Every structure is written in structure tokens, then in C-alpha cells.
Amino acid sequence: MTTDPLLLRAKGLKDELVLIRRDLHRYPELAFGEQRTAEKGRAYLAALGLDVQAKVAGTTGVVATLESGQPGPTLVIRADMDALPIAESTGLDFSSRNAGVMHACGHDAHVTCALGAAKLLVENKAQLRGRILIVLQPAEETPPGGAQVLIEQGRILHGVDAAIALHCHPGIPAGTLAFRSGQMLAHSDRFLITLKGKGAHAARPHLSVDAVAVAVQVYQALQYLVSRENDPLHPFVLTIGRIAGGVAANVISETATLEGTTRSLDERVAEEVPERMKRIIGGICHAARAEFEFQYERGYPALVNDPGLTEQALGSARGLLGAGSVRSLEHAEMGGEDFAYFARKVPATMFRLGVGNAARGWEHSLHSPRFTLDEDALPIGAAALARIALDYTANGKAK
């Protein structure tokens, strides 16, 4: 059993961390609207004596600087703040009070862990070298996201040597951390298909071009790209998450829309997808005498963790928790993350914070209205971020 004093201190902060997380959870805010969340974070960091910059690049972004007074590298600890447009159904007594908005991806926990790490680092400043930047980032959930804005307009990575972040995972038990070197997450894009037919009375289908019927054909045919045009050794997902069309039971709809996302681990596949989709949609619409508009929005690039930094972080985590509580992830996942923009500029690594608890039924997936987490994970996340930061600054830049 590990006796790392940083972990022991973090566990002593659990009640404080739980209060922070539950407060943030009650009042979730959507992308670029994280006013209250940002102010809570700013006030907490300022109370620690850190130099805090708010409203970075005209957004809700917050950057706090901890100077050690000793020469050494600069490390970013990043946490995303935004919630999702989901109506919560957990039944928790601290459920969302903002109708239709929920922290269903654990960003309330991410912010809490970053704030906890900041407190631990301030308390252990004598062991620190270089400087630490605590970045509270807006708008991870909504491409083009907040990372690019902070990096390009806020220049938050100027002089930075490396960046780290964590992300909740309900499929990993609380008390466990998981790391992956190299590619961790996929390219993530979005699309909108608008179909236009010809409306008519439900009793006279021969006078119509049924946009809903065309939408059904488009939905099915697009999966052909996954099952028959894509190399199965290069994972690719095409998901249509929303279909809308029709106004009444006895009216053949003139218009219909389909919205969705594509995910790919292969950059070449990601590059070719829009033209392939357009070909499929165009063929069906031509056959059905319908018209269409196709909008494809490039989202986030693949997240690739730096091998050297990841290895250092993995060693720090094992020292903190013991080897039995730290995993290596065998495969990349199809999720997307705008932390990828950090990783394209500096050596970076994101690791998984286990928050699941099977015995209590806390295993609902991210982005589920029933997602919740085991709060025993909060001090572990805070301690892991702080330990990795302390060890990194002591050892210098990742090789």
C-alpha cells in the first residue's frame, strides 16, 4: 500500500473536493457560457495566492500561474469546464438545477481535480521547480472548441514545455488510473444533411417526394461506408444522432434533416469521408428525385499522447498509487477531445481517471442522463495531477 504523503493529504481534502464538485454539478453551463464555473475556479485559485488571468482571449477561460522561484520547465494542467445539453435523470440530491443542462461527461470533476491539484502544489511549493499553469478551458464539447481559441488567440502555450490532463471513465473503477502512449483518441467530425422533396397529402403519395422516406434510405446507405468501403483494420464510426422531419400524421413531409458525427483513427480515412458521404447521399437523392444540402464540419484531430511524457506520468502514478492501481490502455478509443490541439503544440498526455463503482450501479456511460461518478476518485485525480507535475518539474523536460 502506498504511503505517498501527497495522496494522504489529498484524501484529507476529500470533503472540500466533494463540496466543490457538487456545487459545480448543480449549476452546469454550456460551451462558452461557463460564467459561474469560471468565477468559482478563479476565486479558488486566487485565494491560493496564485496570479490569475480571467476571460482569456475574450472567453470564460481562466489561467492561474504558480511560480516556484526555481529554474525549471513550465507545465500546463488543463481542465475543461462545459456541460452538455442533456436533462439529468440521476435522482441525486445535487442534480442539475439548470433545466436541460447536465455535467454528463465529468467536467465538474475535471475542474475539481485541477483545483485540488493546485492546492496540493501550493502546499508543496518547496519541492517544485519551474512553474505550473492551471488552465480552466471552455467549450470542449462543442467544436471548434475552446482549446484552439486559448492557444491561438490567448497564446497560453507560449513558453510551455508540456501539458497534462485527465478524463473521467465510468468503465474503470474508482481508485484506478489508466494511461496510453501514442494515439489515444480519434479524429472527430460532425455533419448536417438537409433533404428536400415535395410535400403532399398522405393519401396521395404518388404526388410527393417523401423526404422522410429518403432520410431512411440515406441513414441505411451511409452505414455501407463502414461495413463495405472501409478497411476493418482501420476503425471508422459513422453515427447519426438526430433525425427530424414531418409535421403531422397525414402529411408527407417536404423536408428532413439528419445530424451526426464520424470518428476515425486513421487520418487518411478521416480526410476521404466527406466526399464518400456526398456520393452516397447524391446517388439516393437522384434516384428518389430529391435535393440535398450537405454540411461537413471538421472537428478535433486525433489525440496523440507523447511517449516520453506518458512514460514519466505512468511512473509517477505507480509511485503514488502502487502498480496494481495503474493500467496501460491497450487500444485507442473512438472518442474525440480538443486537448488534441495542446498535444499538437507541446508534448502532452491525457490519462483516464477511474470513476466507476459497479457495486453501486455507477457505470452509466459518459453523455448519459444517468451518468454519475464515485467521488472517492476526486482526491486521487487531484493527487495524480499534482504528483505528475512535481515529478516532471524535478526531472526536467520529457525526453
Per-residue 3-state assignment (H helix, E strand, C coil) for 342-386: HHHHCCEEEEEEEEEEHHHCECCCCCCCCCCCCCCHHHHHHHHHH
CATH 3.40.630.10 intervals, the chain = 5-185+302-395
Exactly one of 29, 254, 375, 392 is catalytic; name it: 375
Q: Could you tell me the sign of the dihedral formed by the alpha carbons of 362, 336, 153, 348, in that order?
A: positive
Residue ranges of the chain whose pLDDT lies below 50: 398-399
pLDDT tens, 123-133? 999 999 999 99
Residues 42, 63: contact at Cβ < 8 Å? no
Strand ranges of the sheet holding 291-300, from the earlier edge strand across to the other edge = 236-245, 255-264, 187-196, 291-300
Residue 346 C-alpha cell reads as: 507541446
Closest to 323 in 3D by CA, of 112, 196, 176: 176
At how many degrees (to 10) do helices 5-12 and 14-26 cross? 50
For residue 328, give the H/E element and its range.
strand 326-328
Identify whether 267 is a catalytic site residue: no
Rounded Cα distance between 20 and 40, Å, is 9
Beta strand 131-137 with 74-80 is parallel
Architecture per CATH, domain 190-296, reads as: 2-Layer Sandwich (3.30)
- What are the start and end residues of each CATH 3.30.70.360 domain in the chain? 190-296
Grid cell 485507442 — which residue?
332
Rounded CA separation 108/278 (Å): 38
- 3-state SS, residue 331: coil
Strand 162-173 and strand 74-80: the pairing is parallel
Strands 177-179 and 348-356: antiparallel
Report the alpha-carbon distance of residue 387 to residue 389 in Å, rounded: 5
Q: What are the tens digits of pLDDT across the range 274-329?
A: 999 999 999 999 999 999 999 999 999 999 999 999 999 999 999 999 999 999 99
> For residue 141, what is the enclosing H or E element?
none
**pLDDT confidence of residue 2:** 64
Residue 110 Cα distances to 116, 194, 316, 326, 379, angstroms: 10, 36, 19, 19, 11
User: Crossing angle of helices 107-123/5-12, nearest 10°?
Assistant: 120
In the set 34, 88, 254, 300, the catalytic residue is 300
Return the CA Rg of the chain: 23
Q: Is 139 left (phi over 0), alpha (psi -120 to 50) or beta?
A: left
Residue 369: exposure state from Cβ atoms within 10 A (0-12, 13-18, ≥19)? middle
Q: Are 285 and 216 in contact (CB under 8 A)?
A: no
Q: How far apart are CA 315 and CA 320, in angstroms?
A: 9
Name the superfamily (CATH) of residues 5-185+302-395.
Zn peptidases (3.40.630.10)
Rounded CA-CA distance 139/146 in Å is 5
Catalytic, 375? Answer yes
Residue 397: predicted pLDDT: 59
Sign of CA dihedral 4, 41, 96, 138: negative
